[in-house]
Amino acid sequence: MQTNPAHIKGHPNPVLLLKALIISGLLVISGHIELQAQSFWRKSDRNTFIRNIQFNFNIPSARAVGLGGAFVAIADDATAGMANPAGLTILTKPEISVHYKLNRFSHTENAGTEDDHNLRKHFHNDIVSQSYLSLVYPYGKFSFSVYRQELINFESSHEAAGFGSIFDSPDLDPADFEPGSKTGSDIQVNNWGAAFAFKHTRYLSVGVSTMVSTLEFSFFEHLFQRSSQTNRPVRIFSVTSSSKDTRYSINIGVKSEPTDFLSVGAVYRSGPKFNICNTIEDVDDSGGRTNIYQADQDLVFKVPDVYSFGAALSLKDNLTLSLDAVRVEYSDLIKDLDRNLNADDQATYSAEFPFTRFVDSDGIEDLVLKDRTEIHFGCEYYLMFGEWQLPLRAGFYTDPSHVVHTTVEDEALKRIFPRGKNEVHGTFGFGFVLKNKIQLDAAVNFSRSVSEVLLSAVFRF
């Protein structure tokens, strides 16, 4: 992570500069991502800023979500391009699929005040979006697919009155910083993929999918304090970003059906590595004039790589059980970032904004984020009514905590970078098949922090 001085207006204010440096040093490094769940970008060991991002690592169809996301060994519909490209060879007719998602993500921020350091404020954000769109065209033992997958579609905005609770500097009076912070983000990562699959034998298929990943990153966080002259809140500090980037990533899958009732699959999915740029602004209106200090900050945003292994068992003609193990390399997120907090660093001063740099004194990483393995399980049962069928699905998956957390023994920092909690998601779904041409599915996915409703439609030609 680098901080590049851009332009400076006026004179530095040491207190605010210190704050700016803290924020610039940690703004993005504390990013954490849950598999299909939340990610927090928290920054500053003196202020609480929570940035939440949801990654949609789950297979984006209602059918797959209804199955608890255990779909690697099944992958037998138009979402296979992303789920497991090798599964595309199963299709015998062209298919178009479209998927929509309503997502509610809840999160909590430390919004402490001078009187109550542990005050927390709960927020939630709702997003409705088209999460996946695909076309599959099978041709003999080959199959081709193009698709658009929404990997991240995250919008949030919240205001936390009072963030002074964790100020531990005697120079700073928490009461001065009311009404606190205002944060907003709009982050979108889309994968535009082209998949190719080949059926090598009756029992084995391989597939590869190349993706162009686009990032649109819009973010702001403003800090306010009450002006002693006008008694109105005035902006004292901002971090803003409006970045775009395009990268390539790849998805490789293998699927085998050794018998009519058993299938196994494996997938490796690389995550794109984006560059983003933040602009840090420090506003100082002391001395009768307003001075604004600015600096740009280049950061790396690496989407974790994912490995999945799965097995599916078809019992009789109308019952399928599926089990996946998914390894998510969350550590990718912070690998290229500064993982040290300023709390135990040595401050060095320079003539250029942001004037202060922090040098790690102990060589120990203060922020850690470990890779995690998730277990997904699901079952699908077909109720038959003559020629009509009603698929019912249920499943669950484990969602181990993967929050960037601190190893520094400091109560204030522990409040900002807690260890997080493990979650278990429950999923249910059902579908309709109309005239063997149209498939409509719905599913819900719920956990402590996430509620999702998915709707899918597949058209078969």
Partner 1 sequence: MVAAKTLRRLSYGLVFCLLVSVTPLPGQDTWYAAYERALENISVGRWEEAVADLERAVSLKPDPELNARTYGVWRRNYLPYYQLGLAHYNLGNYETASDYFNRSLAAGEIKNSPETLQLLRGYQKAIAEKMGTSQRELEEKIATEMEKGLELEREGNFQEALAKFEAVLTLDPEHKEAAEHLEIIKKEQEKQDNLARQKQAVDMTLAQGISHLEAGDLAEALACFEEVLKLEPTQPKALTLRKQVKDRLDRLAKEENLKQQRINELLREGIQLFESELWDEALIRFDQVLRIDPTNSEALKYRKNIAALIDEIQRRK
Strand partners, 392: 381, 430
Among 7, 93, 120, 448, binds partner 1 (CB under 8 A): 93
Question: Does 370 help bind partner 1 (rule: CB under 8 A)?
Answer: no
Among 15, 206, 321, 368, binds partner 1 (CB under 8 A): 206
Question: Does 459 help bind partner 1 (rule: CB under 8 A)?
Answer: no
Pick 354 or 391: Cβ nearer partner 1: 391
Residue 306 backbone dihedrals phi, psi, to 5 degrees: -130, 135
Pick 128 or 319: Cβ nearer partner 1: 319
Q: How far is the CB of 393 from partner 1 (least distance, A)?
A: 11
> In 260-363, at which residue ranges do the beta strands (DSSP E only) sit?
262-269, 273-284, 291-302, 306-315, 319-328, 345-349, 356-360
Q: How many residues appear in the chain?
A: 461
To which H or E segment does residue 412 belong?
A: helix 411-416
**Identity of residue 414:** K
User: Restricting to residues 112-151, which ones interact with partner 1 according to CB under 8 A?
Assistant: 141
Residue 87 backbone dihedrals phi, psi, to 5 degrees: -70, -15
Pick 391 or 420: Cβ nearer partner 1: 391
Which among 202-210, 225-233, 277-285, 406-414 is the span making contact with partner 1, rule CB under 8 A?
202-210
Q: How far is the CB of 148 from partner 1 (least distance, A)?
A: 21
Q: How far is the CB of 43 from partner 1 (least distance, A)?
A: 23
Indicate if the alpha-carbon torsion angle 296, 181, 407, 348 is positive or negative: positive
Among 18, 91, 166, 367, binds partner 1 (CB under 8 A): 91
Between CA 285 and CA 281 the distance in angstroms is 13
Q: How far is the CB of 399 from partner 1 (least distance, A)?
A: 24
User: Restricting to residues 10-69, which ones interact with partner 1 according to CB under 8 A?
Assistant: 63
Among 2, 139, 170, 201, binds partner 1 (CB under 8 A): 201
Between CA 325 and CA 170 the distance in angstroms is 49
Residues 403, 407, 411: CA angle, nearest 5 degrees: 95
Question: Does 302 help bind partner 1 (rule: CB under 8 A)?
Answer: yes
Indicate if the alpha-carbon torsion angle 341, 347, 348, 353 is positive or negative: positive
Among 34, 45, 77, 374, binds partner 1 (CB under 8 A): 77
Residue 146, by phi and psi: left (phi above 0), alpha (psi -120 to 50) or beta?
A: beta
Rule CB under 8 A: which residues touch partner 1?
63, 76-77, 90-93, 141, 198-202, 204, 206, 208, 250, 252, 254, 268, 270, 273, 302, 305, 317-318, 332, 335-336, 382, 384, 387, 389, 391, 431, 433, 436, 439, 458, 460
